Structure 1
Amino acid sequence: MATVLIVSKTKMVNGVCVGGINEQNGELIRLHNERGGNLTADVPYEIGDRWEMTVETAWNVREAPHVEDKQTSPIKKLGNVGISGIVNYVRTHNLGNRLYKGHLNGTFDGCLQSKIYVTRDKVPGFSTQFWVSDESLTHVVSFEKDYYIYRGLKIKYVGFLPPVASIPAGTIVRLSLANWFDGKGAWSDERCYLQISGWYLPQSSNQNNPSPIDLPF
């Protein structure tokens, strides 16, 4: 039995991807159903929820970097702590290399190599991470998809919450790496592309001009 804090909910072709933190050990996890399958769009989990649930490594857990897959079975909802509760957890717990502050190049153990994807020749040991950005990120729309611009790099946003015009520097951002993809045979290598799953800002009456949270590091 574990208490899981829900920190992200993102779009997938077949269902939704829900990310959480196991409060017992600080592990970042990706929730699957009790059979190891993808969650459906009608799952009751919302960002900020705390759930009591069974958690075990998925029988079909994937190779690195996608090592977070867990089979889960919800027992009961304990409440919702909101964005501030997520920020408080991240601020007050040692998440090791799952929290990085600074230039984007340093995320995912430096495996991005100034790109927005990783390749098979340099694979990190995980696919989800919190990042405290050193610069503001600006929202743009391209071919009806949402992206954020960081130092000229265009990073796809895959969360459910409406995008904000700008994510200020110093904000906690949740990053993830998409599944391996070969460009439908067009590329010479497989890639896991970087995605933004969400960000954690205090509630504001003006969503287009939010304020960053002052972190103690």
Structure 2
Amino acid sequence: MRVLIVSRTNMSGGNVCVGGLIAQGAKNVRLLTSLGANQPSTSPFQVGEFWDIKLESRPRCIPPHVEDMLVQNASKVGISNNIVNDINAVAPVYRGALSETFHRALLTPRGRAWHIDRSNIPNSSVCFWETPVALTLEAPFGKTKYHYNTPQEETHLPFVGVSTPQPTIPAGTLVRLSLARWWAPEGQEDEHCYLQLSGWY
């Protein structure tokens, strides 16, 4: 399958999570190793590249992370001349309020991280969004986050991409959002998937 690499994010243990977009069918995929692990930091997949990849579905995917695929073999076949146009040509893009992304499944408590819970699970864990306002870089508690603020809603989006953060992501920028894996803070039982910013174009 011909896959456009659209994200590369930091994971624990020095690994990276690599996101791709299959042009035929506009299917988002997460490129795991043939054994189902995250890619090592030495993985050759870079944002903006086209790869011809033999993929197999990961057994027992846990929604909403249905994009997990196992890479059996891969060869680089080109580089995108305009990744924004390539994404817009095939993939759905949310335009409007951030709360409308992920089929409006996000829980949006003011002053707390936005997330989903098991009461309303969207059919995917990644999406593309055109931000209606500028996102500004902040570092509360030493963590890199982008502040999203409109008269109706506000949150801080953790940035997990490997690229160098920039002070401002202008309004109208195409970005990739993702939901982290199910997780519960220490001492709590209920797991959530927290909203994060994977990158921009």
Match of 2:185 among 183, 199, 209: 183
Distance across 2 between alignment mates of 1:189 and 1:139 = 30
1:199 alignment counterpart: 200
Shift of 1:163: 0.7
Q: TM-score, length-normalised on structure 2?
A: 0.90
Q: Any idea what SS the aligned residue of 1:169 has?
A: coil
1:160 equivalent to 2:162? Answer yes
Aligned to 1:122: 120
- 1:1-217 maps to which residues of 2 (within 5 A)? 2-14=1-13, 15-59=15-59, 61-81=60-80, 84=82, 86-93=83-90, 95-96=91-92, 99-115=93-109, 116-151=114-149, 152-186=154-188, 189-200=190-201
Unpaired segments ≥5 residues, structure 1: 201-217
**Secondary structure of residue in 2 paired with 1:7:** strand
Q: Which amino acid aligns with 2:9?
A: T
Identity of paired residues, percent?
Answer: 39
TM-score of the aligned structures, taking structure 1 as reference length: 0.84
What letter is aligned with 1:63? Answer: I
Q: Distance in 2 between the 1:138 and 1:41 partners?
A: 27
**In 2: Cα distance, 1:16 partner to 1:129 partner:** 18
The superposition leaves residues 86-135 of structure 1 with CA deviations (integer Å, 9 ceiling, x where unpaired) of 21112222x34xx2111001000101132411111111111000001111
For residues 34 and 48 of structure 1, the distance between their equivalents in structure 2, rounded to whole angstroms, comes to 22
Runs of 4+ displaced beyond 3 Å: none
Is the CA contact 2:103–2:122 (under 8 Å) kept in the aligned structure 1?
yes
Tell me the equivalent position of 1:208: none
Q: Distance in 1 between matches of 2:158 and 2:185?
A: 16
Question: Paired residues, what number?
Answer: 192
